[in-house]
Structure 1
Amino acid sequence: MSKKNKDKEIKEEQNNSLENETVAVEEQQEQEEKKSELSAEEKLKEELQNEKDKFLRLFAEFENYKKRTSRERIELFKTAGKELMLELLPVLDDFERALLHIEEDKEAEELRKGVLLIYQKLVSTLEKKGLTVVKVSKGDTFDAEVHTAITQIPAPSDDLKGKVVDVVEKGYKLGDTIIRFPKVVVGQ
């Protein structure tokens, strides 16, 4: 393309942009003239409509705020005891280990019954407060969002590759939130 053609195109673009600016200025002047022509009643109607719009927006924002704080409050109540639950989980684990050990000792039958009773009361009390066990069993597909893999071992069979081979530590949920992920061994 020659220099003359380029210069011509540049001049045309400049003229077009000047024309666009001129049109925009003229439109703005027309709008200002229309505004000055509006009667007092029309101005009041327009102001009233603007105020109604502002009010509706403010009302909608307030409703959204109320809903959001209600959801947050409900969630807070559901997980209010999270720290306490986390502190009690090792005690629950110790009870389970004690029950496994006592089962082997046939002479301590009365002791086993007592420990079992206390364990069941503790579990039922924690369940009333929203604590539930995350269900994991051997053969479940490993999911990194739900499980914590502590190690991988060669799978005993081909169908256990990429699946849970053993559950080392139970996981728990408080409401819908997992507060302790189950620790599992995965087949490789």
Structure 2
Amino acid sequence: MSKKEDINKEPISENGMEKEQQNPETEAAVDQKDEVNEGPSELEKLEAEMAIEKDKFLRLFAEFENYKRRTAKERIELFKTAGQDIMSSLLPVLDDFDRAMSEISKTKEKELLKGVELIRQKMKTVLGSQGLSEIEAAAGDNFDAEIHDAITQIPAPSEDLKGKIVDVIEKGYTLSDKIIRHPKVVVGQQ
């Protein structure tokens, strides 16, 4: 063979067969077919996995923030009412002071009345500083079933007391805006 014939011949591949010359457009079409057959690329897979993990992280973070907020609120509520048992056990003592005051006021012992009144006021002040406050209820006030505990109903002594409080049997108290004992009242029948 001459050199001229070698130049005109198609290049021979490594396996001894002639290489076909391919058009650049057909090469691009073959590459696209390969991509379609392969599915999503590795980069797309990683991006999808990262999006899923990011979503999980954000949900977990939000759940943790809600947990922190909820436990902080519960802790504040616990501190507000931590002394509720002690306060509830001291309420009968306050009632006894009120009874003692009414009995001592019937006697002529004004110095004794003054001493008991000072002790009662001091105790109310100390308990008040801890969040205890008395629920105001008096004869003639409107009866509210949410606040008052009606222990009985009696015929109203007058027209204006029908459906209203006639007498307060036991005082009610709140501890940091939470009712720990409802006032026990007598209500006039309508």
| Alignment map for 1:10-25 (pairs within 5 Å) | none
Q: How far did 1:96 drift?
A: 0.8
| Alignment map for 1:35-74 (pairs within 5 Å) | 37-74=39-76
Give the corresponding residue for 2:127: 126
What secondary structure is seen at the aligned counterpart in 2 of 1:45? helix
- Gaps spanning 5+ residues in structure 2: where? 1-35
Identity of matched residues, %: 64
What secondary structure is seen at the aligned counterpart in 1 of 2:150? strand
Q: Which runs of 4+ in 1 moved over 3 A?
A: none
Question: Is residue 181 of structure 1 aligned with residue 182 of structure 2?
Answer: yes
Q: How far did 1:138 drift?
A: 2.0
Q: How far did 1:123 drift?
A: 0.1
Give the corresponding residue for 2:172: 171
CA distance in 1, matches of 2:141, 2:132: 22
Q: How far did 1:158 drift?
A: 2.5
Give the corresponding residue for 1:141: 142
Q: How far did 1:132 drift?
A: 0.6
Q: How far did 1:140 drift?
A: 2.2
What secondary structure is seen at the aligned counterpart in 1 of 2:105? helix
CA distance in 2, matches of 1:153, 1:66: 52
CA distance in 1, matches of 2:96, 2:83: 20
Q: Greater helix share, 1 or 2?
A: 1
Q: How far did 1:61 drift?
A: 0.7
What amino acid does structure 1 have at the position aligned with 2:53? E
Give the corresponding residue for 1:94: 96
CA deviation string 1:17-66 (max 9, x = no partner): xxxxxxxxxxxxxxxxx9x6111111111111111111111111111111
Give the corresponding residue for 2:152: 151
Q: How far did 1:150 drift?
A: 0.8
Q: How far did 1:109 drift?
A: 1.2
Root mean square deviation of aligned Cα:
1.6
What secondary structure is seen at the aligned counterpart in 2 of 1:145? coil
Give the corresponding residue for 2:111: 110
CA deviation string 1:123-158 (max 9, x = no partner): 000000110111112222222221111110111222
| Number of corresponding residues | 154
Report the TM-score when normalising by structure 1. 0.78
CA distance in 1, matches of 2:136, 2:172: 8
What amino acid does structure 1 have at the position aligned with 2:149? T
CA distance in 2, matches of 1:62, 1:111: 60
